Each structure stands twice: as structure tokens, then as C-alpha cells.
Structure 1
Amino acid sequence: DISKWTTNQKQRADILFQQYPVLKQAYSLSQQLRTIYNSTTVKEVGYTKLARWYNDVQNTGLKQFSTVINTIQVNYKTILNYFDNRSTNASAESFNAKIKAFRAQFRGVRNIDFFLYRLAKLYA
């Protein structure tokens, strides 16, 4: 958020954005996406705003956003659920990472029942 930048940071950003207008465009698009997620609480409104942002990205032709665009295309129904109750799957991802680390610590699993028992004792 530019409003939180120091005077020095704003001056350097002005110079940078003057020299590299594409970078300014990319920064603006990323901030627009952030604003959509921070300010939208209705799924239908989020859908409309994401569609407009998607069109803006396509109109710029910036290939750097292609991964984000593809992710939104493939997962838009799931992504829109965020606007209903502001929840993500971060806790599930964190738990999956813990399981993978635990499994890697023992270089695999031979006895599944014992592995599940240990997981339950450690994380339940």
C-alpha cells in the first residue's frame, strides 16, 4: 500500500515507475487484486470484480500474470468461496506439510497403522 510508504520509498518508486512503466502496471494490477480480496465480502461481487481484473490483466498482455490467471480459471469456484466466510485451506495445507515432514523424518512408512497411531498421538 503506497499510503504506508515513507517519503524516500515513494520517491524511489516514482523514479522506478517512470523508468519502467510495465512494472508500474504490474504493481497496479497486483494491488487491485489485493483490494478485491480485502474489501469484498459477497461472492457475486467478488466474481464480478475478479472477472474485470482478469480482463484488465488480459488487456495488458503481461505474461507474468499467466500463472495467476490460469489458477483463477481452474479454481474460480473454490476461490469465490473465500468471499463467503473469509476462510482458506491454509490450516489443511499446514497440517499436510507437518505430515510430510514427519514421514520424511522416518524415510517413508512401512507400517501404516503404526504411522497413523503416531500421527494421532502427535497432532490430535
Structure 2
Amino acid sequence: MIDKLMIYEIKGIEKDLLEEGNIPMLTIYLEDQEGMEEIISMEESLMYERQLQKGSKVVIGPDGNLFPLSMAENLGMLDEEQEIPGICLQQQGNWQAEWMENYMDALEEMDDLLKPQ
């Protein structure tokens, strides 16, 4: 049973073939401290926005996308008292709920801004 939020290092990035009308995606190759490998897909623009590159230390967030450690700490994903490489699942549930609440609030604000006056 996994009881820690794993911290990964980006080992490689490949650009996916883009079909017309699709969002540019990347395949990211990750490795944890124990040498276990993981492969995920993520939007290219989000990788650029979060300034992720080969060698970056990251966590996989509740939305399945990568977060740099500094952003993960700012969002409360990593507890200051917890030792890296991660946090327990109970704490993970707390930050996921908080993250989702903040995300939903942001969507509501965007919706309000886009409504015709």
C-alpha cells in the first residue's frame, strides 16, 4: 500500500504527434527515489507555464498533472513538518479537498466574468 505522495524527477520529455484540432501534449518520463519509473501525458502549455524541464523535481497532483515542488508546497501538498519524499494519504486528502475548493471557486469567478452584463 502506498502511504506517501511520491516525489519524481523528470527524466525525459517527448512531444506527442499532434492531430489537427487537438491540444499539444507531451509524454513525460518520471523516476522516483527508488528508481521506479512512471509515464504520464500533460499539456505542453501547462509544462511551459509551470517551468518544468528535464531534471525538475515534481509531484503528481490531484488532477493528474505535474507540479514543481515549490508550487506543491505553496498549495499545501507538502507539509513542512513532513520529511520529503512526501506526505501521508490523510494529509493528501486534505490538500486535495482544499485544492478542489479553490479550483471550483476560480471556475465560478471565471463564469461570472464571462456572463453577459
TM over 0.5: no
Structure of higher CA gyration radius: 1
* Larger RCO of the pair (alpha carbons < 8 Å, separation 6+): 2
TM-score w.r.t. length of structure 1: 0.29
Higher helix share: 1
TM-score w.r.t. length of structure 2: 0.30
Higher strand share: 2
